[in-house]
């Protein structure tokens, strides 16, 4: 373990270009996936949390269940879609960062949507009577709910980011772990493990952990600033 920590430290301070390339791609893929999943998942979650319609209960159960979807299954399903022999094969997406972004988007979309749904629904239950009393229009109500839930939604987005950057099963299938092209932190860890380079694998894991930690520290600072002003 100590060896791994030392190695992690040396890797980071040595500014090894390969390492920074891998970190850069990890961040790029996971942040893009997060952006896509948020752009799709936040509105879906908010709408399902805000509105009542037939079949809503089934959709919620479905959304919640999808949160437990194994990454490998997502990777496989996506592979079958974008393989040259699949229905979307002509797009030539397999073994590209784009495919990895799609995979991670699909992976975290249910998390973002389901958690957003819960948060918006709870907040709506709290505000609903007051909104109706104030004759707040439905559109304005939804915007207000999203705005007032923003610090909770940051946590949702972080949960999505955490899952995206940490997953390996999906991106290794659709990305192919190609050196200098689709190799990210997690697939590099898998590769070093398979080479028996356990210390290096753990060192990469530590670097990944530190990145996740930095992102969460940033969010915690944001949230505590909000807490100080009691907007939460």
Partner 1 sequence: MLNSLSRRGAIAALISAMLLGVSGGSYAAGEKVIVVQSTTSTQNSGLYDYLLPKFKAATGITVRVVAVGTGQALKNAENGDGDVLIVHAKSSEEKFVADGFGLSRQNLMYNDFVVVGPSDDPTELSGSGTAVDAFTRASQGSAAFTSRGDNSGTHKKEMSIWKAAGIDPTTASGSWYRELGAGMGATLNTTALMGAYTLTDRATWISFKNKQNLGIVVQGDPSLFNQYGIIMVNPARHAHVKQELAQTFIDWMTGAEGQAAIAAYTLEGKQLFTPNAE
Partner 2 sequence: MSDVQHKSALLPLKVDGLHLTLGGQSLLCGIDLMIAARGVTVIMGPNGAGKSLLLRCLHGLLVPDVGQIQWNGMAMSGRVRRCQAMVFQRPVLLRRSVLANVRFAQKAHQLVDEESALAFLEDMRLADIADRPARKLSGGEQQRLALARALATRPDILFLDEPTASLDPASTRIIEDTVGFVSQRGTKVILVTHDLNQARRLADDITFLAGGKVCEQQSAEAFFSAPQSPQADDYLMGRLPEI
Q: What residues line the site for partner 2 (CB under 8 A)?
A: 126-127, 129-137, 140, 144, 148, 229-232
Nearer to partner 1, 128 or 148 (CB): 148
Nearer to partner 1, 39 or 65 (CB): 39
Tell me the longest C-alpha to C-alpha distance in the chain.
66
Q: Whose CA is closest to 178, among 99, 85, 105? A: 99
* Segment near partner 1 (CB under 8 A); pick from 20-28, 57-65, 67-75, 102-110: 20-28
Q: Whose CA is closest to 145, among 117, 110, 109? A: 117
String of b and e for 74-104 (b: at least 16 CB within 10 Å)?
bbebbbebbeeebebeeeebbbbbbbbbbbb
Distance between CA atoms of residues 198 and 182, nearest Å = 21
Minimum CB separation of residue 66 from partner 2 in Å reads: 29
Q: Which does 57 bind (CB under 5 to 8 A by kind): partner 1, partner 2, none?
A: none
Distance between CA atoms of residues 169 and 90, nearest Å = 24
* Segment near partner 1 (CB under 8 A); pick from 26-34, 61-69, 116-124, 129-137: 26-34
Q: Is 15 in the site for partner 1 (CB under 8 A)?
A: no
Minimum CB separation of residue 32 from partner 1 in Å reads: 7
Q: For 83, phi and psi rounded to 5 degrees? A: -60, 155
Minimum CB separation of residue 197 from partner 1 in Å reads: 5
Nearer to partner 1, 12 or 191 (CB): 191
String of b and e for 185-210 (b: at least 16 CB within 10 Å)?
bbbbbbbbeeeeeebbbbbbbbbbee
Q: E strand or H helix at 183, and its extent? A: none
Q: Which does 92 bind (CB under 5 to 8 A by kind): partner 2, partner 1, none?
A: partner 1
Q: Is 83 in the site for partner 1 (CB under 8 A)?
A: yes
Chain residues that interact with partner 1, rule: CB under 8 A: 21, 24-25, 27-28, 31-32, 35, 83-86, 89, 92, 94-95, 97, 150, 176-179, 181-182, 191, 193-198, 218, 222, 225, 229, 231
């Amino acid at each position: 373990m100590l060896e791994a920590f030392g190695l992690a430290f040396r890797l980071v301070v040595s500014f090894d270009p390969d390492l920074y390339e891998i970190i850069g791609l990890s961040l790029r893929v996971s942040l893009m996936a997060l952006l896509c999943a948020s752009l799709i998942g936040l509105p879906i979650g908010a709408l399902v949390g805000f509105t009542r319609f037939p079949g809503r209960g089934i959709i919620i159960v479905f959304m919640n269940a999808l949160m437990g979807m194994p990454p490998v299954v997502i990777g496989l399903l996506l592979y079958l879609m974008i393989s040259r022999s699949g229905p979307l094969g002509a797009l030539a997406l397999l073994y590209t960062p784009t495919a990895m972004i799609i995979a991670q988007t699909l992976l975290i979309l249910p998390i973002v949507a389901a958690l957003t749904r819960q948060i918006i629904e709870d907040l709506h239950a709290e505000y609903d009577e007051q909104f109706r009393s104030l004759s707040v229009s439905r559109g304005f109500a939804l915007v207000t709910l999203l705005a007032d839930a923003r610090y909770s939604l940051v946590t949702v987005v972080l949960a999505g980011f955490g899952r995206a950057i940490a997953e390996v099963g999906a991106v290794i299938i659709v990305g192919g772990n190609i050196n200098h092209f689709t190799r990210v932190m997690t697939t590099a860890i898998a590769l070093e493990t398979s080479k028996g380079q356990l210390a290096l694998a753990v060192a990469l894991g530590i670097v990944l952990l530190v990145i996740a930690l930095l992102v969460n520290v940033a969010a915690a600072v944001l949230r505590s600033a909000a807490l100080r002003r009691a907007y939460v």
